[in-house]
Amino acid sequence: MRSVLIVARREFVGYFTSPLAYIFLCLFLVLAGALTFYLGGFFERGQADLEAFFAFHPWLYLFLIPALAMRLWAEEHGSGTLELLASWPLTTAEAVIGKFLAAWLFAGLALALTFPMWLTVSWLGEPDDGVIAAAYLGSWVMAGGYLAIGSLASAMTRSQVVAFVLAAAFSFLFVMSGLEVVQGVLRGLLPQDLASAVASLSFLTRFQAITQGALEASDLAFFVLLIVSALTLTGLVVDLKKAA
């Protein structure tokens, strides 16, 4: 456990030694704000809630989280530091979890910096703080899902660009699987149960329920299970790459 924290600390600090961290934070905050006010019609809705803000998170994460995750392992492969990392007394699992935790904390920091949204809506009306807190938690856990997918994609290649594209593509499948238009096609192709199973993997459907105030254990469990599975696969891929 201590090694996990040591790796996480080094990775977290590492984000701030390159411009990436600052670009990511600025882009996230500007886009989150712009989407809420312009596309989400925050004022036109006339409601004291943050649904217009959270509704865009799955789409925002689709491009921003892969950018955060792409360097996790691809950089180690590319620069040969994986060999150095593997020579220190630390298991692959500890390295995988440590790196993931650093990126997840960073995503949490970006999310926390959107607090003026909450302040604004509290100033304008009387929002349900419980719903907003649950949506923040849900959004962070969902970001973890995207990140774990990104970590797996990053472990599969030595190119950060390829890692980015793979992560965005994988995540896109998870986001889209619940959309009506996709489900319509799937129901025609697959048995009913299988089509519903695919729909249940959708980030959109699960996250929508959370933003509307229904933070159910099953939705959280889904994201946690996804994180655990993707990280387990990441560990296996890293070990496979080491052996090859």
Partner 1 sequence: MPAIVEIDGLGKRFGPLWAVRDLGFSLRKGEILGFLGPNGAGKSTTMRMIAGFLTPSEGRALVCGVDVAAEPLPAKRAIGYLPEGAPLYGDMTPAGLIAFVARLRRLGGADYRRRREWVAECLGLAQVWRRPIDTLSKGFKRRVGLAQAVLHDPKVLILDEPTDGLDPNQKHEVRGLLREMAKDKAILVSTHALEEVTAVCTRAIIVAEGRIVADDSPRGLFADEPEAVFRRLTLGARAAEAG
Which residues make up the interface to partner 1 (CB under 8 A)?
Answer: 3, 6-7, 10, 13-14, 17-18, 79-81, 83-84, 86-91, 242-244
Smallest gap, in angstroms, from Cβ of residue 14 to partner 1? 6
- Minimum distance of partner 1 from residue 83's CB (angstroms): 4
| Residue 52 Cβ vs partner 1, minimum distance, rounded to whole Å | 38
Integer Cα distance of 244 and 242 in angstroms: 6
Give min distance, CB of 90 to partner 1, in A: 6
Q: Which is nearer to partner 1, 90 or 182 (CB)?
A: 90
C-beta of 18 vs 122, nearer to partner 1: 18
- CB of 8: closest distance to partner 1 in angstroms? 12
The packing angle between helices 2-16 and 20-34, to 10°, is 80
167 half-sphere exposure, CB direction, 13 A CA radius: 37
Residue 116 corresponds to which tokens in the numbers above? 């003026």
Pick between residue 48 and residue 90 the one whose CB is nearest to partner 1: 90
CA angle 122, 30, 70 (to 5 degrees): 120
Q: In terms of CB distance, is 189 or 244 closer to partner 1?
A: 244
Distance (Å, whole) CA 197 – CA 22: 39
d(CA 68, CA 101): 12
3-state secondary structure of 217: helix
Q: Which is nearer to partner 1, 76 or 219 (CB)?
A: 76
